[in-house]
Amino acid sequence: MTPRLPLPLAPVPLLLPTLTALPLAALLLTAGARAAEPNIVVTVTVDAEADKKPINPLIYGLNYATTAQLAALNVPLNRSGGNSASLYNWRINARNAGKDYFYESLAGGDDIFDQHGESFVALTKEAGAQPMMTVPMIGWVAKLDRGRKPLAAFSIGKYGLQQDFDENGFAEAGNGRTLDGVPITGNDPNDAAQPDSLDNQQEWIRSLVARWGTADKGGVRYYIMDNEPSAWHSIHNHVRPTGAHAKEIADLVKDYAAMVKSVDPAALVVAPEEWGWTGYHYSGFDQQYSAEHGYDRAPDRTTQTQGMDYLPWLLTQWKKAGRPVDVVSVHYYPQGGEYDGKDSTSPGMQLMRNRSTRDLWDTTYKNTTWINSVVALIPTLRKWVDTYYYPGTPIAITEYNWGAEDTMNGGTTQADILGIFGREGLDMATRWATPPTGSPTYLAFKLYRNYDGKNATFGDTSVRAKTPDPDKVSAFAALRKDGALTLMVINKQLDAPVPVKLDVSHFSTQADAEVWQLAAGRLTAKPAVRPDNGTITLPPQSVTLFVLHGGRG
């Protein structure tokens, strides 16, 4: 589920490329890299006429990017969501992140993570990107004390000493657990929140349309139906202590989607925004009940979904209602500690990070964590939508994060993920959240969207690119509208350079290939190379973009 909002990190300066005439072997090896082992050559096979599939630029989206970040990365999509968005009060610009931050209702400020309303639309549109706005459905919104001061849902003065409290901020706010760690129940939800309604949210949509116009005339195009509703009882138990039933969520989405489209018929509705593997298969009520009684006795699965998994069943209900949802969306975080584990940068965890991106696409890869099943998220989501809803309906992953964003392992993983999204035909994606400016993960986005500082991008049509072992070296290729063939080669190996041979068919090169490389935390231009002239050695933990100019042969 949505993690606590990250703290901003100091920017790392992007070093401008220095073009020098160096031997090929020297220019592609980072300083200090050991020589490649002889005769271990990885062949990257590219076919410019095979496996063609359009790449939707909306897969390169972010959560809570600033105007400067959106512009620098040439990012087309910016999402305002997460747990704070569930209780966002547009009338007073206040939010409550629930369990993520001591159940405090806080006034919105200048911080990017406080932007849930008109200010978010403004900063996003200033960069030429599309905002995704979250519409609360939970039935409650944050309220503030006099003078716009914070309120605590589990006040220590009212509910006694607690296991933890906000010692660095609003010290009155406890974590909702007694000193023995027992959850506090029977609290008054009105302590830090007030009841909400569909009519109130309709007024918000009307205000956005009044300022920005309808979606087909430059207004807000995407409205998200709340955030991770099957986890409301866990994150927002101060107002929703009982898990949401499957039918409740099906009906809420239908009603709120109809409301949005009554105000702006051109707007697109995004749902269900579920949090992860369990949230795809079980309602919130079933998750809460089964934590004590076992999943074989899940009540909603018996009485409401007729034995079906939760998300596919939702799709059947929405299909009956006449297509209230325009984009089917989920969240996904790896569960082996890659995202936020204590040893998330250990060699073993880095190797797991290299491997676990298979969860996004590989129909033969069994997840090694508690999931203990084949995930194959993009193919699975596509199959569900095409089977139970309307075939071809766009699918989205609106939260994901593989961690270690300040390391090269995080950077190579992000590059791998963006390549997978394009190759597998995902329609939309927004990373949680925007990586620190200048970090390797940030630069991975830049390599796909603005590698030369002039908004040059990866290609528009994915084509076949294969390597022998994508856990060690992966590759993605695409044709670009200007006639170029772009090839992204990712050396995931922790400490081993790799010599690669490019085997390109159905594309005749007419000039040396441009080379741009992310290695050792820097994105730099390298001297051009002949792609068909021997091997090219890539540094350990690096991402190299080859831009081949010519034509299909």
Distance CA 331, CA 536 (A): 37
Q: Which of 70-84, 119-133, 352-366, 499-513 has the lowest mean pLDDT?
A: 499-513
Distance CA 493, CA 499 (A): 12
Burial class (CB in 10 A: 0-12, 13-18, 19+), 109: exposed
Residue 409 in contact with residue 395, Cβ under 8 Å? no
pLDDT in tens, 383-421: 999 999 999 999 999 999 999 999 999 999 999 999 999
* Higher pLDDT pick, 483 / 550: 483
Given this model, what pLDDT does residue 509 score?
A: 84
Write the DSSP symbol of residue 540: S
What tokens were used for 49? 């006429």
Instruction: Tell me: pLDDT of 551 over 90.
Output: no
- Tally of CA atoms within 13 A in the half-sphere of 438 that contains its CB: 9
Distance CA 239, CA 191 (A): 10
Distance CA 72, CA 415 (A): 17
Q: How far is CA 317 from the centre of its chain?
A: 26
Distance CA 535, CA 541 (A): 18
Closest alpha carbon to 50 in 505, 501, 547: 505
Distance CA 499, CA 153 (A): 58
Categorize the per-residue pLDDT at 14 as very low, low, confident or very high, splitting at 50, 70 and 90: very low
Backbone φ and ψ of 130, nearest 5°:
-100, 130
What residues form DSSP beta bridges with 490? 474, 543
Instruction: Tell me: pLDDT of 35 over 50.
Output: no
Distance CA 43, CA 13 (A): 34
Distance CA 270, CA 131 (A): 12
Closest alpha carbon to 305 in 372, 230, 234, 239: 230
Neighbours of 285 (CB within 10 A): 23
Distance CA 388, CA 319 (A): 8
What tokens were used for 489? 């080669």
For the chain, the helix, strand and coil percentages under 3-state DSSP, each to the nearest 5: 30, 25, 45
In this prediction, residues 367-388 reach a mean pLDDT of 98
Residue 432 in contact with residue 7, Cβ under 8 Å? no
- Tally of CA atoms within 13 A in the half-sphere of 218 that contains its CB: 8
Pairing of strands 130-135, 77-80: parallel
Residue 20 makes CB contacts below 8 A (sequence gap 6+) with: 27, 527
pLDDT in tens, 323-369: 999 999 999 999 999 999 889 999 999 999 999 999 999 999 999 99
Given this model, what pLDDT does residue 553 score?
A: 63
Closest alpha carbon to 142 in 114, 110, 123: 114
Categorize the per-residue pLDDT at 478 as very low, low, confident or very high, splitting at 50, 70 and 90: very high
Q: What percent of the chain has pLDDT over 70?
A: 93
Distance CA 170, CA 243 (A): 28
Distance CA 543, CA 516 (A): 8
Neighbours of 303 (CB within 10 A): 11
Output the CA torsion sign for 360, 365, 369, 372.
positive
Backbone φ and ψ of 185, nearest 5°:
-120, 165
Q: What region, left, alpha or beta, does residue 436 occupy, with left being phi > 0 and alpha being psi -120 to 50 degrees? A: beta
Write the DSSP symbol of residue 366: B
CATH superfamily label, 56-458: Glycosidases (3.20.20.80)
Distance CA 124, CA 70 (A): 8
What tokens were used for 234? 């866990």
Is the pTM higher than 0.75?
Answer: yes
Closest alpha carbon to 198 in 122, 263, 242, 243: 263
Pairing of strands 268-274, 222-225: parallel
Q: What is the mean pLDDT of the chain?
A: 93
Highest mean pLDDT among 22-26, 33-37, 152-156: 152-156
Closest alpha carbon to 46 in 420, 538, 478, 541: 478
What residues form DSSP beta bridges with 135? 225
- Listing DSSP states for 392-444 in one string gives T--EEEEEE--S-TTSHHHHHHHHHHHHHHHHHT--EEEESSPPPTTSHHHHH
